[in-house]
Structure formats: structure tokens, C-alpha cells
Amino acid sequence: ICKHIKIFLKEEVMKLIVGLGNPGKEYEKSRHNVGFIILDSYFNGEKWHTKDNYEFLEKNINNEKVIFIKPLTFMNLSGLAVQKVVNFYKIPTEDILIIHDDLDLPEKTVRFKYNSSAGGHNGIKSIINSLGTTNFTHLKVGIGRKFSSDQKDYVLGNLSKEEITYLQNDKFKEMINTFICDGTTVCMNKYNSNGE
């Protein structure tokens, strides 16, 4: 996966990858479940384990432990699950990647951002409140602003088959692995069209 192998002599290094969404079959294809869909595709049908208020998988990638989680708290309380994992494993917030939908980005557009505000996203707002910081990385996936009535109905509305196929593209797996192996700055330079 990685072009280089890091050697750790002291403390174990660990990263946390969080996909945001809502639990339940009625939400599994919704725009708000972008994070869940991308992580499910990353693991290609592998069974998730359930603990407390989240589903998780642990992997060893690039000689370090990587924790992947999908909060089961519903979007507005995502921070409760993230905080529990961060506190248990003592993960520095700069080693966290949150994958989520973004209304302000056009469809099929992605942006890596670090130390970013919630921008009206209730899941991110909950995470910032729970962790007490904005010092983590976002992988923002654009869903556009095509709603003519209620924003809530739009984000909970279903993605098209074409949109789901896009989210299951191996490019997202590559992005996640680049974050794990090389960090946020490399991701921004490689995947953000304007390098920001």
C-alpha cells in the first residue's frame, strides 16, 4: 500500500478513520451516509464489529494500527462515539480523518481540509464539541445544493446508482491509504485541485 515503511521504536502510532452516517436500512443509501458508503466499499463486504455506540474494524497498515469506525449514534451525536474511541486509544486529534458529505462542494468533488469549521454539518459540529478542537482532517465529499425545499429532506434523500458507484471507486481507497501513509499535507497537495 505504502511506498515506505516507518519504524517505531517507542510508543505505538495509531490513526483513526471515521465515516459519518446514520444507522439503519432506511438511511444506507442517503446523501448523509457518504462516509458509511465509502468505508463499506473500502472493506469490500468485510463484517464490522460492534462496540458501545459504534461499529469498528482494526487493521495494521504501514506498520501502525489504524482504527476505522462508523458511529451508531445518528449524525447529530457522532462526537460521542468519536470521543469514546479517541479517549480509549489516546489518539492525537491530528491523526484523525473524518469522511463526510458536504453541501458546499459540487457533486463528484472532494477536498481534504485540516482545522476546518463545521460549516453547518451537524455531525462535524458534534465532533468538534466532543473533542474540544477543530484540529483534525476532513475528507469532504461534495453532494451539491440541489434542494428546492427542505435541506434535511435533501441530505436524507437517496443517492442515485451512479452516485453510489462513484463513492465505491478505488480512488477513495487510495485517498484513505495516502492519509494513513503520508498524512494530510500530501493528501491536500495530491487530491485538492487548488492545493488548499
Q: Which of 101, 57, 93, 98 is nearest to 78 (CA)?
A: 98
Q: Are 124 and 100 in contact (CB under 8 A)?
A: yes
Distance CA 61, CA 135 (A): 23
Going by C-alpha positions, the residue among 17, 139, 156, 137 that lies closest to residue 89 is 17
Q: What is the DSSP letter of 95?
A: G
Q: Known catalytic residues?
A: 32
Burial 173-185 (b: 16+ CB within 10 A, else e): bebbbbbbbbbbe
Rg (CA), the chain: 16
Summarize the chain as % helix, strand, coil (round to 5): 40, 25, 40
Q: Do strands 110-114 and 137-142 pair parallel, antiparallel, or not at all (unpaired)?
A: antiparallel
CA separation for the pair 99, 148 (Å, rounded): 26
